[in-house]
Amino acid sequence: MTKLINQTFFSAKIKEKKLYIFGANDIRSLFGVSAVATTSLLHRYKKQGFITQLKRGLYAFPGVLPPDVYIANKLCSPSYISLEFALSYHGVIPETVYEITSVTTKTTRRFETLGKIFSYRGIKKAAYTGYEIKEQQGLNFNIANAEKAFVDTNYLRLRNKQEPISRFNKEKINPEKAIAYALLFNNKKLISVIKTTLK
């Protein structure tokens, strides 16, 4: 059955469905092949360099890779971009951040793929909010707003016994909004840190 799926047909079908990132389930459903045939097909195409593996079970075409921010949301779900990368994106901190940092309701994890680092830090479900949908190259991705990224970062710094962020653009942060997000963590020290740093 896999012999019938040549590269041209495979590529056309995936692109027709606008699957910029795809996995075994997508292939099985699109081509009606068995799990064994799917594994064999993906393994062969990966070996040939026709597709690239982003992580176990997740692939993309190397010539038409979606933006890193879109990949970040897909590598670990649910997740949204936050922390230093989001703070830099919103101009809250002056540094350029190369590691694509996100938060998730799952455990902390890290992926090295495409020569980049995608890291995910776990937060409680009650605090999993404060993100918005943005667009890059016609694709949507979830990223924390400036206030939530600021609170997420300080919460994790606190948890790791690090000092709060000291160098940032206060004008980019709405204190009331930030405090409201801090309350979701139900952590008195965090609320105090947010209030103090935004005075």
* Beta bridge mates, 159: none
Judge whether residue 1 has pLDDT over 60.
Answer: no
DSSP for 48-59, written as a single string: TTSSEEEETTEE
Report d(CA 170, CA 178) in Å as an integer: 11
pLDDT for 4 equals: 67
Residue 88 burial (10 A CB sphere; 0-12, 13-18, 19+): middle
Q: Which residue has the tokens 């105090």?
A: 192
Judge whether residue 192 has pLDDT over 60.
Answer: yes
Mean pLDDT of 84-99: 97
Tell me what the pLDDT averaged over the chain comes to: 96
Mean pLDDT of 20-41: 95
| 91: three-class secondary structure by DSSP | coil
pLDDT for 2 equals: 44
Confidence of residue 98 (pLDDT cuts 50, 70, 90): very high
| H-helix or E-strand spanning residue 133 | strand 131-136
* 197, 169 Cβ separation under 8 angstroms: no
- pTM, two decimal places: 0.92
Q: What domains lie within the chain, and their CATH numbers?
A: 2-64 (1.10.10), 68-197 (no CATH)
Q: Which residue has the tokens 């008195």?
A: 188
pLDDT for 174 equals: 98
